[in-house]
Amino acid sequence: MNQEFLTLLKDARKNEKSQIVDLDYTQLYHLSKEHEVLALIYNQIYSFPSFPTDLKNQWKREAIKINAIQTIKTDRFLKVYQKFIEADIIVLVVKGIICRSLYPQPENRPSNDEDLYVQQKDFDKAKNILLDNDFVLVEEGEDVSTFLDRINGLSIELHTSLFSQESKAYGKFQDSFEHAFDSPIQHCIHNVNVYSLSYDLHFLFLLMHLIKHFLHGGVGIRQILDIVMYGEQYGQFINWNYIYTVLKDSNFYVFIMNVFALAHDLLDMSFEHIQLLDDYETINKDYQSLLDDILDAGVFGKSTQERLHSSTMTLNAMETGKKSLKKSLFPEKSYLEKKYTYLKKYPFLLPIAWISRIISYIGNKQQGSGQKTIEIGNQRIELLKKYKIIK
């Protein structure tokens, strides 16, 4: 089924008609839902004669709903973005609508939220624009604040830093974006000019965002698709030597080259506008275990609780180069703050949060298996070693 799934996605992104084949439609449905590509896949298979009627009707309803909701959210986002333009502040759009616009049918590629990058000096002004336009502040943090339109569900994350510099695993990624506002570019989307990162920085951000999620619970196939679409569209404008220098300096070059190989072989990623280095051909491009991890992960690595919990092991391995079960059982305060919000005000209660977490984990089967968490964590640490991210 995995091969058929990838072939359908390849056809969808290239706007090509898929060849009729025998499919396990139920399995394909669940895989598509986990990776949030239901509408993309449905558009490829709706005419298949073997498509069971009941599932076809259900899938059709969901695909139409995804398309309609995303259309509404896109319209709402562009209208509020115009308010930033009118206020004469530069707010950079990353991922989301920029990537979505590259697909043949953009609304079939949904976004969970829209990410905006703003300079600290403009944060309050941007925040007030959102509040004045019927968004509510859901969560305010040091680096990112989340706003929600409760009517249509549009979520906007307003960033003053694209990567948390508190993270020992990937905090240094932010260094590459400190001067992003010196060279923004504009994309015209539905007749609205939106500012974004330069081509170099936006592609680098897509790669680093993928790496960030890989270091947590994992990445889904949709993130790979976005990289393929952006690289093909804007590769001719990207300074590839700069990209590779950053990747090599951070030990992610071999990993990303395996992502490229996977995308080329299975999603037909064109290298026409991608300047590969001479060593690409000699790098060990063994991506099967990476592919298995991607397909198991679901969108943003959230397929299971065990996978989510295993991130404490992979992040610690990235930080220290060692496996640590202790870190999984007793993670840092920053990791637990979202669930145990009292830690933000009372950090000295961290031991209480550890105990609460362990009791909850043992007593609640929905939290998943501790043994399975360790197993997934160990497997993913081996991937970090395989692709020379850690020794």
How much of the chain, in percent, has pLDDT values that exceed 70?
90
- pLDDT at position 40 over 80: yes
Its pTM stands at 0.88
Does residue 354 have a pLDDT over 70? no
Res 11: pLDDT: 97
The structural domains of the chain, with segments of one domain joined by +, span 216-301, 304-386
pLDDT digits (tens, 9 = 90+) for 178-199: 999 999 999 999 999 999 999 9
pLDDT of residue 366: 47
Alpha helices in 166-299 (DSSP H): 199-215, 221-234, 240-249, 253-267, 288-297
Radius of gyration of the chain (CA): 21
DSSP string, 77-94: HHHHHHHHHHTT---EEE
* DSSP-derived 3-state class of residue 56: helix
Token reading at 188: 């015209």
Contact between 186 and 158 under an 8 Å Cβ cutoff? The reply is no
What does the alpha-carbon distance between residue 257 and residue 273 come to, in Å, rounded to a whole number? Answer: 15
Sign of the Cα pseudo-torsion (229, 92, 294, 4, in order)? negative
What is d(CA 299, CA 318) in angstroms, rounded to the nearest whole number?
22
Structure confidence at residue 358 as a pLDDT band (50, 70, 90): low
> Tokens 């947590």 label which residue?
216
Q: What is the residue-averaged pLDDT of the chain?
A: 90
Asked if the model's pLDDT at residue 333 lies above 80, the reply is no
Cα-based distances in Å from 86 to 79, 195, 327: 11, 13, 48
Q: For position 135, what pLDDT does the model report?
A: 97
For the CA atoms of 188, 184, 299, 159, the dihedral, rounded to the nearest 10 degrees, stands at: -120
**In the prediction, which pLDDT does 8 show?**
97
- Residue 102, classed as helix, strand or coil, is coil
**Residue 187 CB coordination number (10 Å):** 15
Residue keyed to tokens 């990776």: 35
Instruction: Please report which confidence band the pLDDT of residue 302 belongs to, taking 50, 70 and 90 as the band edges.
Output: confident
